[in-house]
Structure 1
Amino acid sequence: MPAEAIIRPRRDADLDALAPTLVAVYERDGYPVEGVADPRAWLTLARPLGAWVAELDGQIVGHVALTEPSPGDDAARLWIDQHRGTPDDVAVLGRLFVSPDARGHHLGARLTETATDEAARIGRRAVLDVMLKDAAAIRTYEALGWRPLGDFNHHHSNDAAEPARAYVAPPVYGRPQLSKVSTGMLDQG
């Protein structure tokens, strides 16, 4: 019998289940580059527009968030500069990850589409940044129709920098269908 997967809004009670999943993703993929000394703090959103979890057979196995841009959001800054927009025109997609044990069910792509749809529903364009080292995530974003905005250095702890690329979501009506995305490409996070 195939696994039952659902995407639903995140609840505060989900943070306890998400924390060890985030640690497992970091151990396997090095995401997030900042590390996960305090997973609950990393998942606590300062400027939330929404957050969702993926469940597989009743177990929480993935997460994505949508936030208002902050002054340090390079993807938002690039989109605003290129389109003469304002911060109210964009929403930042982030905190996306899927448990290594739950990959291959298109959950990363489904979480991305859920957040992208919400951004469109509230009249904003979704943007994100991804570290260049995360090649599988880049391939999937591009397969989903996301367009690059430009490259930059993501600065994190101890003044370290990681090469990154900013992306903008396609208009919701122009998004490729999930069936065209290779299995598991975005499941890395």
Structure 2
Amino acid sequence: MNNLTIRPRTNADLPAAARALVNVHETDGYPVEGVSDPEGWLQSDALLTAFVAELDGRIVGHVAITRPQTGDAAAELYHPAPGESIGMLGRLFVVSDARGLGAARQLMEAAANFARERHLRLLLDVMAKDQAAIRLYERLGWTRLGATEHDAGNGRVVPALAMLSPAPV
């Protein structure tokens, strides 16, 4: 059937989104810090919005936008223009058996529309190893701000890349 829908995430979606996250961690190693508390990892006091991708009634993907927090590498690299507001795009994933259907691109578009409506410039950091994600972001007009590092916990640091969304129009 392949009926893919992108919609705002609700609290009722958290268990299914957490299961999808655990699946992605098992197949791709994302997030690099692990998933000991997947529902907790999907939630944040800084959350502005989140979207899920649903395929035939099953949550297969997720993306979130948060306010910048201390330690957000991309926010530390970017110097907003006077009056420019920024948000952090993150928690983006799609389970492996739902890839190739445009879910990641559609989740990014939903996030971009949210940001555009609120005059936000989005930033993200992506692990350098995640070349498919970097290619997607660049196809969608995101630009590289520079290399950085991601604290993966337990003294582990992972090479990352900070990126900036296209300017809102």
Same fold (TM over 0.5): yes
Q: Any conservation in 1 of the 2:145–2:164 contact (CA below 8 Å)?
A: yes
- The Cα of 1:154 is off from its aligned counterpart by 0.9
Question: Does residue 144 of structure 2 align to residue 148 of structure 1?
Answer: yes
Amino acid at match of 1:77: E
Which residue does 1:10 correspond to in 2? 9
SS of match in other structure, 1:113: helix
2:101 to 102, 105, 122: 105
Shift of 1:84: 4.7
Deviation at 1:95, TM superposition (A): 0.4
Determine the C-alpha separation between the residues in 1 that align with 2:150 and 2:82: 22
Opposite residue 105 of structure 2, the aligned amino acid is A
Q: Does the 8 Å contact 2:51/2:62 carry over to 1?
A: yes
The answer to whether structure 1 residue 65 and structure 2 residue 61 are counterparts is: no
* Distance in 2 of aligned mates of 1:14 and 1:161: 31
Q: Which has the higher strand share?
A: 2
Aligned residue in 2 for 1:22: 21
Aligned residues: CA RMSD: 1.4
* TM value normalised by structure 1: 0.85
Aligned residue number for residue 92 of structure 2: 96
Task: Map 1:126-141 onto structure 2 (within 5 A).
Answer: 126-141=122-137
Runs of 5+ unmatched residues, structure 2: none
| Structure 2 equivalent of residue 157 of structure 1 | 153
- Check the 8 A contact 1:8/1:52 in 2, yes or no: yes
Aligned-residue offset at 1:85: 5.0
Counterpart in 2 of 1:184? none
Whether contact under 8 Å (2:92, 2:104) holds in the other structure is yes
In the alignment, which residue of structure 1 is the partner of 2:39?
40
TM-score normalized by structure 2? 0.95
For structure 1, the residue ranges without an aligned partner over 5 or more in a row are 174-189
Give the corresponding residue for 2:120. Answer: 124
Q: Percent identity?
A: 50
| SS of match in other structure, 2:71 | coil
Aligned pairs (5 A) from 1:75-86: 75-80=74-79, 83-84=80-81
